[in-house]
Structure 1
Amino acid sequence: MTEKPTYLTREGRARLEAELEYLTTVERKQIAERIAAAKELGDISESGEYEDAKKAQALLEGRIRELKHLLSRAEVIDEDQASNGEVRVGSSVTVRFEDDGTEETWTIVGSAEANPRQGRISNESPLGAALLGKRARNKVTVHTPSGVMKLTILKVR
């Protein structure tokens, strides 16, 4: 079974690569120094500092593995590529809510870059998935955990 790609913008990939670089070169060294300092204090079997440093190390190594895995599956989306008017990952979509007439614009991104507060909606979310493949003037019904949303797509770019 093939794993799904991780969709990233160029900026998103660069951000994750920079985080990985920082964690492997700076954070890893700092935690190793904390562990060494705790060992120098003597009996590590009851050392809170040693245990804290080892827990921090485990969390750090988990994040490093996660970043490496994400980046190994990364497929960079070209946000400048023409979408032929169809919503796809990388598209900016302006919609109007049918219930109150308000308008919002979102960018459809991969789940690793999603941040709804910043208008970045995951392609895997109920809203993102419902918008994929649609065009301007299409009406969309989205079933979310908080209820049903009905909206009209005004613009896709």
Structure 2
Amino acid sequence: MNKAFTKETDSDEDDEPGLPPLPAGGKNYITPQGYARLRAELLDLMDNERPKVVEIVHWAASNGDRSENGDYLYGKKRLREIDRRIRFLTKRLEIAEVVEPSVHAGSDQVYFGATVTYMDDQGQSRTVTIMGIDEADSNQGQVSWIAPVARALLKARVGDEVQLPTPSGLRTLEVLDVEYPSAGRD
């Protein structure tokens, strides 16, 4: 068959580039706030953005020659991007396991959703919040629960020293403080 008549397909992989995959057989832990944000994004894409782009593509297609119609070509591309994101969000929300971190309020042990202050073996103090894969933002001091530092800290208590494997060797982290959000806090 001539290559010109084959269907262009997007990658079979629906995962967004740059997001870590879920561990094999693992759960997609997420905070209630993170779940709400992803669900709001999904609903906005389906109810607002996608219908607008479909309308533009329909209008552009009715103008005739589609091969040099920028509105049509860009609209179709944007539609594929929106559909890919909708599929990704739908899959992630279907397997999401919402975990309320506030149930551990007052605990000195590190669980999902904890904000942990620790000191490394070089005397530097850092604070991180352990979040879900789809909601962690390193610019805000959040790390995914599958990140090496989070895995090292999970289940530790204030005063514990844990070992963090790094490419340059093992590092020791001392847990200084553990905090959880209060119930109902966004």
Where do 1:5-154 residues align within 5 Å?
A: 5-82=27-104, 84-99=107-122, 101-144=123-166, 149-154=171-176
Alpha-carbon separation, structure 2, partners of 1:145 and 1:29: 48
User: How many residue pairs get matched?
Assistant: 155
Cα RMSD after superposing both structures: 2.0
Percent identity between the aligned chains?
37
Alpha-carbon separation, structure 2, partners of 1:37 and 1:141: 60
Alpha-carbon separation, structure 2, partners of 1:118 and 1:128: 15
Structure 1 residue 147, shift from structure 2 partner: 6.7
- TM-score, normalised on structure 1? 0.88
Alpha-carbon separation, structure 1, partners of 2:137 and 2:64: 45
Three-state SS of the structure 2 residue aligned to 1:45 is: coil
In 2, are the aligned partners of 1:87 and 1:133 still within 8 Å (CA)?
yes
Structure 1 residue 9, shift from structure 2 partner: 1.1
Q: 1:139 to 1:57 in 2, by over 3 A?
A: same
In 2, are the aligned partners of 1:127 and 1:144 still within 8 Å (CA)?
no
Structure 1 residue 71, shift from structure 2 partner: 0.8
Alpha-carbon separation, structure 2, partners of 1:82 and 1:34: 49
Alpha-carbon separation, structure 2, partners of 1:109 and 1:89: 7
Alpha-carbon separation, structure 2, partners of 1:69 and 1:116: 23
Question: Which 5+ residue runs of structure 1 have no aligned equivalent?
Answer: none
Q: 1:140 to 1:65 in 2, by over 3 A?
A: same
Structure 1 residue 39, shift from structure 2 partner: 0.6
Three-state SS of the structure 1 residue aligned to 2:101 is: coil
Q: 1:22 is matched by which residue type in structure 2?
A: D
Q: 1:96 is matched by which residue type in structure 2?
A: M
Structure 1 residue 19, shift from structure 2 partner: 0.6
Deviating 4+ runs (over 6 angstroms):
none
